[in-house]
Structure 1
């Protein structure tokens, strides 16, 4: 009996999915503190038009990442070095498109790894396998990392507050995506809420449990606790598909505005979730929710 192995998704298709996921994230409205159809949230230097332009500017980089991974075949040190170099060129494309505004730097890291992972694996691979393979790539060091990267807002927040940040999340195989975000998205859909509410519930679930370095950088631990508490309150009354949940989402929006913070880390992971949802079979993800303590513990695994 002949065994037929599915060919990897084409690099262009994967890149289109990555850009599509970024556009889906930014168009989602209303998102507390974030750029959406209402405006820039707490960002004074970002608009919906700018975010759209930025997302489209990343397409070439995602294609190159996918092609490089497909040609390389293994999630090893050499691939990590090549992807890092492509990632820096993609960041340059972003800055050129935005006039120097950092719109998607974190998303380039997360979605770039997942795009490369998908190019390495057969089409139809599970979300767990995609995230696990991305983690294998992320654990390799990047000897070409410029010194200024260690002075980024995320790096400073990781060092100051002892949280894993985007780097730790990826190196652990994206546990918040696999154990929290995708199950929330698909459970909300199963409850027959609108797609907008399902995606908002996913964002809020991430906000409730993530040690978001974007929030920590701007507002410290007090702001992070306020954001997480407010997001949890949305979920405890049934999520954004309920009148009570929408009222609490509005309250969370006001709280975040008063704090002047933005849950950018949660937004990046929402985009990564939407990417996995596009390319991984729905039946491949386990559909249970884990406790905040379990999720936080998982994020430290290396």
Structure 2
């Protein structure tokens, strides 16, 4: 049974995901502008609704971590089982968010293992959980794993086993943008572009191949090099990239899920002082 602490972590993760969905303009990704179009409005509404269906599963993952008390193979197997049940529930609610569930599930479990952890420590704990194999997972290869094998990309599993480097990069970008005077939406968009600029997104590799991935990475870097979303040149580059990716039907979904992970970690309480040795 989950506690209030577990439910609070789950709701914070869902809020991070819905916060990511609320950003606009997100190049090639669903955002609130879809609500004004007949063709895309139902899809965006479904994504917002199905995000809430993650909450019970995420709370169960936090409870499992708190009960287990360590990033063990047992915890990894339990998280996998809960994740598969949650995917089914989300599918009934409209679908989507599979990548975000993987990222948020591991980070929620890591946060539950050590409620006083700093963001770097949360990512490290998630890395330790992800290092174990889920022996009960279906043996059929997923699209992401097939693309990772074909192109040598880290993929979602590799990102987790490396300690979520792109979540950490997004957190750094948020801090830099806020310090420079960006409002919250601008800081979050800059963080998204920071992830897009280097992530080997398996969704993009599947739909656009290596050249398409490089095109998207270069476009994201172009926005940041123009000054980011707080400058006129940066906003112009952002809208140009958004138009380009929507025209090509290329969607950097992996970056969106990792941004949601960063926004979740960003909400965790900051410890008052240095951690005890």
TM-score, normalised with respect to structure 1 = 0.85
Question: Which of 183, 187, 195 is the aligned partner of 2:176?
Answer: 187
1:85 matched to which residue of 2?
Answer: 81
Deviation, structure 1 residue 281: 2.2
Unaligned runs of 5+ in 1: 1-7, 285-302
SS at match of 2:134: coil
1:133 matched to which residue of 2?
Answer: 125
Question: Which of 146, 157, 173 is the aligned partner of 1:167?
Answer: 157
Structure 1's 147 and 44: CA in aligned 2 closer, same or farther, altered over 3 A?
farther
2:143 matched to which residue of 1?
Answer: 153
Distance 2:238 2:28 in 1: 11
CA contact (8 A) 1:73 1:120 kept: yes
Distance 1:29 1:45 in 2: 15
1:19 matched to which residue of 2?
Answer: 14
1:260 matched to which residue of 2?
Answer: 249
Structure 1's 46 and 177: CA in aligned 2 closer, same or farther, altered over 3 A?
farther
Per-residue CA distance 1:106-160 (angstroms, 9 max, x = gap): 111100000000110033x100100000000001001111123x1x221121011
Distance 2:271 2:226 in 1: 26
Structure 1's 45 and 12: CA in aligned 2 closer, same or farther, altered over 3 A?
same
Deviation, structure 1 residue 222: 1.4
Structure 1 runs (4+) deviating above 3 angstroms are: 43-46
2:100 matched to which residue of 1?
Answer: 107
Deviation, structure 1 residue 259: 2.3
Number of residues of Structure 1 aligned to a counterpart in Structure 2: 269
Question: Which of 28, 31, 44 is the aligned partner of 1:36?
Answer: 31
TM-score, normalised with respect to structure 2 = 0.93
CA contact (8 A) 1:113 1:138 kept: yes
Per-residue CA distance 1:177-226 (angstroms, 9 max, x = gap): 22x11010111001111111000000011110101111111111111011
Question: Which of 115, 120, 130 is the aligned partner of 1:122?
Answer: 115
1:62 matched to which residue of 2?
Answer: 58
Distance 2:103 2:32 in 1: 24
2:196 matched to which residue of 1?
Answer: 207
RMSD, matched Cα: 2.0
CA contact (8 A) 1:114 1:134 kept: yes
1:4 matched to which residue of 2?
Answer: none
CA contact (8 A) 1:127 1:280 kept: no
CA contact (8 A) 1:219 1:260 kept: no
CA contact (8 A) 2:34 2:41 kept: no
